[in-house]
Chain A
Amino acid sequence: MARYILGRLAGLAFVLLTVSFLTFFLMYNTPGGPFEELNQPLSPEAKANIMRKYGLDQPFYVNWWNWLVNAVQGDFGMSYYYPNTRVVDLFNRYWGSSLMLGALAVAWSFPLGAVLGVIAALKRNTIIDQIITTFALVTVTIPIISLIFFGIAIFVIGLKWFGFNNGQPLYQQPPNTWVLPAFIFGLGTVGALTRYTRSGMLDVLGQDYIRTARAKGLSRAVVILKHAMRNMLIPLVTIFGPVLANAVTGSTFVEITFAIPGVGRFFLESIYTRDYPVIIFTVIIGASILTISNLLIDLAYTLIDPRVRLGGH
């Protein structure tokens, strides 16, 4: 077990190294740079000074290496755009709102999706099943920008139930600024979860031990609650990884349309200002969340499903 985890952590380090290298390549080769949008024109000497100060006269791999040496020591550098501000401090202002948004979305969508999926499986091929599966298909496939627009048109402009955020952190705001974003953000998860739970439950219900349990006289309720539900948890763990990663990194569209000061919106701003240290930090955080949650899920698998062995094929 320890050996397996060590191996996976080495893989994780390799992935993050590669991702950071790719990101540096992209950043340093894009047209435009961090100090070209300044309002007043700079003299060539002053500009050269600035470029030298930030290492921008060096090729991207030199900057990548310097960044890497500092990053492994926990120093992610200073922002180019906000003078004298550490990237980590900047990030601290924004991730709270994203996290709250993601947590709210998961909090309502995960249980609802699981319940709907179980109901659909138990009532399979009835009208209830059809309604639920169609609802799931619709929510899972409609692009988030469509959902956001429908939401804004109906609930903000039409009914005036909710408002936009005013750029303050979400947790300092009244509920009418975050209920709608959290609802829209969670809709896709409901659909995905319903589909997963339904097919997982149908799989379990097709197993011989369920038939055996029924044949020996156990009631439907006992079989569902004791035998089926536990085994149905396994597919749910698989989807929890993508859901979690999406909850933390996927709220960009919701954030910019509702003016929520989260990480996604901040990333777009730093793209605009070419704030390289912020861009690389955000990408690395996103990649870390994705890879670490995948690792945790594989570990969780071994805990809940004794059939799964680590490392083997």
Chain B
Amino acid sequence: MENSFIERAKSSCALGGAIATISSLPRSIPIVHASGGCAQTLSATYNLGSGYKGPGYCSGTMTPTSNITENNIVFGGEDRLEEQIESTLRVMDGDLYFVITGCQTEIIGDNSAEVASRFRDRPTPVIYASTPGFLGDGFRGYEAVLSSLARDFITPSTAKDKKTVNLLGLMPGQDVFYRGNLQNLVFLLNKLGIKANTFFGDGETVEKIKTYGQASYNLVFSPIHGQLASKAFEEALDIPSLTVDLPIGDTGTEAFLRQIAKTLRVPKAKLDEVIAEERAYYYSYFQRFLEIYGDLDYQRYAVVSSDINYAYPLIRFASEDLGWIPHLVVVNEEPEDEADSALYAKKFEELTASVRPKLVFEANTGQLLRHIKESWPYNHNDKYYNQLSPLFIIASSLDGSAAQKLGANFLPVSYPVTNRAVLTKGYTGYRGGLTLAEDIFSALVINR
């Protein structure tokens, strides 16, 4: 598929994604070989746009960078990079140093991999990933960083721990709720007796990450993102992968647990027990909204506009858990491979409401309004007009004005989220489903 221009892309570039990823690893320092503004600008994309997650241990203005200028473009920037790595090791206190590259130094042909390899024998690891912006969006940087970890840092191991998995596909920053989502997933998996390596979550260390070659599976929470990384984990560390949907709420989480239990050989009795326990917990809380739901008719037509990781899980939650009308899903990116798009479309057949949502792949933010309008008969000033209302849009904060124009209720969940501040919140699992229900119903009662 040919790349086109994008209006208000909900992402950054590969370098931006790499910085967001590295700065979310424990005590890790990115060293950016690029012009002076890349590190700061790209960091700000996620540090502000992702519920104000901030720069982490080291990004934003703190990012070490070679700041190459016109002279380096002409004469090469390798010496400058070497100087910057050397001085960064002297100044910055990290457990892992990650050399990453921008467009300028890749176009002029600096051999940054070779420069980074000169630091191979230092007490603290210095590794490298090629991440020029023109590779693609932020996810491409996530893929590159995780792939380098698999190939150049994590120790391969033939002794696999049958009950340990690596979690991939949830990109820090691009998933606004990644910390909470990972926390909820660890909680769920632990209940099944499975240990989950998150790379970015609570209690992680670089030392621990080095041992993640012992995991027996990679769980990839995205049909397209994290797939390059999981391939690197398969090739370099001999760890097979299983692609799953982001589990949100009762329906999604049960499907997820049953899917992985089969692969990870969790005994059926144990699985049923965990599901029953969590489900009882879920509904003991969820039922508290039934009065306001029923008395105020809080059933809604649901429109989801989000990245591919969230799109199906969100509409499934609306349709299967909330009992809403799944009307339209606008995925803000298009898989490179058409087969992936077709496979993604097939998921929607599992929804059990009497209507199926329309699915659109559309990267241009400004087109959401058009897609919603085109999804419904136009009002020709009829005396009786069956309106697309009441309507709830789950999207990103860039879509707020579309919701406003349509008089729809609105909750931003998918990146970017700039009108909410996020710390520990996550939407995965049964408990995350309750959190999402809280946020959705809060949006409904906000004016009361």
Q: Do A and B bind each other?
A: no
Q: What is the interface of chain A, defined by CB distance below 8 A to chain B?
A: none
Q: What is the interface of chain B, defined by CB distance below 8 A to chain A?
A: none
